[in-house]
Amino acid sequence: MDKYKRVIRTDMADESRVVGAGTQTRVQHGGLGEGIRIEKDGDNDVAITRVHVDTPEGEQKVGKPIGSYITMDIPMVNERSRDLYEKACRMLARELERLIHLNKNDTVLIVGLGNWNVTADALGPKVAQSVLVTRHIYEYLPKEIDETERPVCAISPGVLGITGIETGHIIKGIVDNVKPALVIAIDALASRSMSRVNTSIQLANTGIAPGSGVGNKRMALNKESLGVPVVAIGIPTVVDAATMASDVLDLIMDEMMKQAGQGTEFYNMLMNIDRDEKYRMIIELLEPYSGNLVVTPKDTDDTIDYLSKLVANGINMALHENIGPEDVDRFIQ
């Protein structure tokens, strides 16, 4: 049991563990008891789940710090519908606005976490490249700035393996000098479900621990470490091999149950299989062969480009008063 809890890879709050169940699953509408509130919103195109962890007891149940976690599921995002794209940008901006509390001229630092040399980890740097930055205009051309634009700056600090410097230390140095009122950190995440890879967006006002989803946890970026509030935006771009194998077996079992027919002996046998126990067994069997193997779709390069623009649009609309839904992609590089 303890081994299972250590190796499971997910950064998604609504996949966090249910207390007493010894498992990982998506939380259900209505919450998990005292200290946790669950809200559902949106529609079939963009389904929104808000998980609010309010107490230390809630922290223990979900395994996440006190705060708010918003998940946007966009199952048809890969169809590249323009209407859905614009709708998702608007809804992301709305949800981000719910998490930030800023005065009109407060500076915001955008941090694109990840390794730009690895496609599945390049979401953060690509978003940082695409957001509208204005702080330099405030400083050097103040007469040219529109009063409805907020001072925004952006950085992609790279990863420890490239720079030799802890990412958190780089960001802390920038924060101490720039003195932003808020940091928005964007990173690629890991999910417990294949169906959510490149189709879900999570926002959280509790900060982020870069690399935690793939077992490479670095210094946490949060208010305690940086001295300013940190809002995290992430998209799951990978799952581990055990998750993929488990999901495939689940699909096979579901199809076999359907063909066997309800009430048959074979149906009942499959029905009584503990799928969490099955997942633990898969982890143990794969451990000698694929310890840290993670998987991402083959079209991830195009998808990351697409999703990074979606996230950048949402950030632009949330931070600048003069940027609205009609300006989708207008300021994207």
pLDDT per position as a tens digit, 152-195: 999 999 988 889 999 999 999 999 999 999 999 999 998 878 88
Dig out the tokens for 137 from the structure. 């205009």
Cβ of 49: how many Cβ atoms within 10 Å? 23
Query: For 241-261, what is each residue's pLDDT tens digit?
Result: 888 888 889 999 999 999 999
Instruction: Return the higher-pLDDT residue of 181 and 274.
Output: 181
Choose between 2 and 145: higher pLDDT.
Answer: 145
Per-residue pLDDT band at 218 (split at 50, 70, 90): low
pLDDT over 80 (residue 56): yes
Confidence of residue 312 (pLDDT cuts 50, 70, 90): very high
Instruction: Of 55-69, 124-138, 171-185, 313-327, give the lowest mean pLDDT range.
Output: 55-69
Confidence band, pLDDT 50/70/90 cuts, at residue 88: very high
| Euclidean distance between CA atoms 211 and 8, whole angstroms | 14
- Averaged pLDDT for residues 69-75: 95
Beta-bridged to residue 40, according to DSSP, are: 49
Q: Is the pLDDT of residue 7 over 50?
A: no
- Closest alpha carbon to 69 in 234, 192, 315, 312: 234
Q: What is the pLDDT of residue 289?
A: 73
pTM over 0.75: yes
Helix (H), strand (E), coil (C) string for 78-143: HHCCHHHHHHHHHHHHHHHHHHCCCCCCCCEEEEECCCCCCHHHCHHHHHHHHCCCCHHHHHHCHH
Dihedral pair phi/psi, residue 48, rounded to 5°: -115, 130
Percent of the chain residues topping a pLDDT of 70: 86
Length of the chain in terms of residues written: 333
324, pLDDT greater than 80: yes
pLDDT at 79 over 60: yes
Mean pLDDT throughout 31-57? 87
At 113-130, the pLDDT tens digits run 999 999 999 999 999 999
**Using an 8 Å Cβ cutoff, are 160 and 143 in contact?**
no
3-state secondary structure of 241: helix
Q: Where are the beta strands (DSSP E) in the chain?
A: 17-18, 23-24, 36-42, 47-53, 67-73, 108-112, 152-155, 182-190, 200-204, 230-240, 294-295
Distance of CA 76 to the CA centre of its chain: 17
Considering the chain, what percentage of its residues have pLDDT values greater than 90? 56
Q: Cβ–Cβ contacts within 10 Å for residue 208, how many?
A: 26
Between CA 280 and CA 291 the distance in angstroms is 14
For residues 282-309, average pLDDT: 85
pLDDT over 50 at 21, yes or no: no
In this predicted structure, what is the pLDDT of residue 228?
A: 96
Least confident of 86-95, 140-149, 178-187, 189-198: 140-149
Q: What is the DSSP letter of 151?
A: P
Q: Which of 52, 39, 88, 313 is nearest to 200 (CA)?
A: 88
233, 318 contact by CB (below 8 A): no
Q: Which helix (H) or strand (E) holds 208?
A: none
Min mean pLDDT across 6-10, 83-87, 184-188, 314-318 is at 6-10
